[in-house]
Structure 1
């Protein structure tokens, strides 16, 4: 995934200011910064949930957004970009299996047996195979988050976008979610972009750290440089304010 010159405004306020952003297969990129700095807007643009006002987005070498609109190529790759939200967004009246298979059956035309096989495999990836017939209300927050990740995996994504997925979780549960993301990265080669305010989680998860400041990427560096050898005053101030 590569983005060039992304710009986005809401109600006259410029949220993304010419943002360039790259993702590599098998990397976890952690995106940090103050609320309103553009982090979640970037994820939503990459996921196709909001269109930038300007700029270009490419995925797997295909231009999927350019000249202020999505290209035809977007439809060929959209299923390869998954997104997981803080709020889980699971249907409470459906069990886990039904939550996972709804979109693949409708969007990919999977038959019930094939969809169930894929659901069982996705749940096994996140350690939730035993809960395939449970309702979301029967699960803990960490379990619901892992089901949400499994649901994203149903579409066989190459890129997984995660927006504050551990903010409502206790540290031990967040660590379980981190283990899931690491395993997906190492075993499946999935690229992960993760927005978080949890610096402990960020320092453990990241291959790269991207710091947003006033709608721009002010720092793009290693976790060691971001958290231990920071020479950017805005990043240092932010990290010190929310540190561990």
Structure 2
């Protein structure tokens, strides 16, 4: 008998991320052997206990890891009550349920990871850290070097100081009076890149994520997806595990 925390069992079965699974438990939507469970930390045996979510029995799923090139004007969600396009509308031919890891806002585009591996999703989106994410930000005007230096050092936003970022000029268009900046951040505040450039008075006109951890968008066309290779999955897991181990050591020190 292998007893595991209920939210971990649900996440491993591809129900949702571990955080979302905790919300489902607290909302009373999870039953174990016919009894509603609302206490986080409750353990069960996935091989022996009957576990249901909203009346549907869970079962182990093949783990899937997909890279998707999200177009602008698409919601980073599996569903939308307003009927707008969502990322899963583009994931055709996949029977397993997958969900996005992290977010790209409605007006942004580029690399998005989708998976049914709840453990990996939880590690990659934990508030204490995030894997490096690189964007091409086309902004109004041409920021001077001292403005970019503020972003390199970290800049004060309404929800706190940002961590230092890596930046360099990708393209400068004097005629259109705009510049494209390659920026890498190491955290995941809401609409962070847009707010960082707002803070130096150079609003973002277009934002595209081109890499995330060891994953690179490269030539994947907008609106299409591909499966990650075995090497990409292993490297991503190693990166997530390494950063979680570092966070744990820092918490204990």
With the length of structure 2 as denominator, give the TM-score of the two structures.
Answer: 0.29
Higher RCO (CA-CA < 8 Å; seq separation 6+): 1
